[in-house]
A and B are shown apart, each in its own frame.
Chain A
Amino acid sequence: MRVEYINPFVEAAFNVLKEVLNADVRRGELYLKSTTMPVLGVAALVGLAGDVEGRVLFDMSKDTALAVASAMNGEQLPSLDELGKATITELANMITAQAVTKLHDLGFKFDLTPPALFTGENMEISDHEVEALIVPMEVPQGKIEINVAIRERA
């Protein structure tokens, strides 16, 4: 996978998380995952289709999701309820939108699907066609992994 696809997501995630959480964000080391991978507990998935195709997954533990949603709402949410889920979905939306703007400026044209949110224990994602690059982001609420799998359309 070309690094041009990744950087916009890293930058966008960094900027948006910093702004909405009003806190320090640290980027961890990138790494590659292939075939089947476990999901941390709450995952927002955005699909891409056009010149390039694939998906971006925002993956975090349930505790982190709840803490992030609470911080973004300015109040402690009792659980990852409807509002909490809408908050995480919107976070994925904002990050993807910003990244895609950058990719459009670089000349890549494609559309996005609305984010879908998955929650549950012991989930795995299997993707045999595309390898995924993981960008871990450390925020005060925990770790958010941004999992990008994009390829050029054949």
Chain B
Amino acid sequence: MKTKQDFPSINERAPDGKKEDGTPFRVLIVDDSMFVAKQIGQILTSEGYDVVASAADGEQGVEKYKELYPNIDLVTMDITMPKMDGITALEHIMNFDKNARVVMISALGKQDLVKKSLLLGARNYIVKPLDRKKVLERISQVLEK
């Protein structure tokens, strides 16, 4: 079966996850919940983002960021994690790279921590439960700036 000719493209919109030059945005996911990490990964991958690494606690997240830098465009950061929480990890990342783009992932009821992280340099936040539209909107806002 001839594929490309048989099926015309009906989706002319470029996926959110691609830069203007067509290469994908590179994302690091920091979350101690395997479920949440997988969920974010699926949502982002489906829009063309490249999930280059993930980390299960803040300490690992900071290490991975330093390893990947400068080939990293965005970090999603959970707040409550073992070893090192997301706020402390955010501080370390911002000290290392003041232009880092970090989006906080928060459960409801952590407004104070979300405010604190925005003051520390986080670009945006997403409240769980995560839905596809919300995640993609918030993340593409951050990458446009």
Give chain A's interface residues, CB within 8 Å of chain B: 16, 19-20, 72-74, 82-83, 86-87, 89-90, 93-94, 97-98, 100-101, 104, 114
Report the bound CA distance from A98 to B108 in whole Å: 5
Of residues 70 through 101 on chain B, the ones whose CB sits less than 8 Å from some CB of chain A are 80
Q: Assuming A19-B129, A114-B80, is B36 touching A90 (CB within 8 A)?
A: yes
Q: Are B108 and A83 in contact (CB under 8 A)?
A: no
Q: Which of these, A83, A97, A101, contacts B35 with CB under 8 Å?
A: A83
Report the bound CA distance from A86 to B39 in whole Å: 12
Q: Assuming A19-B129, A20-B129, A114-B80, is B35 touching A94 (CB within 8 A)?
A: no
The listed residue with most A CB atoms (<10 A of its CB), out of B33, B109, B131, is B109
Q: Are A73 and B36 in contact (CB under 8 A)?
A: no
Q: Are B109 and A94 in contact (CB under 8 A)?
A: no
> Shortest beta-carbon distance, A118 to chain B, in Å?
18
Q: Are B128 and A94 in contact (CB under 8 A)?
A: yes
Report the bound CA distance from A82 to B32 in whole Å: 12
| B116 close to A (CB within 8 Å) | no
Q: Are A86 and B107 in contact (CB under 8 A)?
A: no
Q: Assuming A16-B129, A19-B129, is B107 touching A97 (CB within 8 A)?
A: yes
18 additional contacts (CB under 8 A) given A72-B35, A74-B42, A83-B34: A19-B129, A73-B35, A86-B34, A86-B35, A90-B33, A90-B35, A90-B36, A90-B128, A94-B107, A94-B128, A97-B108, A97-B109, A97-B110, A98-B109, A101-B108, A101-B109, A104-B109, A114-B80
Q: Who on chain B is nearest to A97 by CB?
A: B107
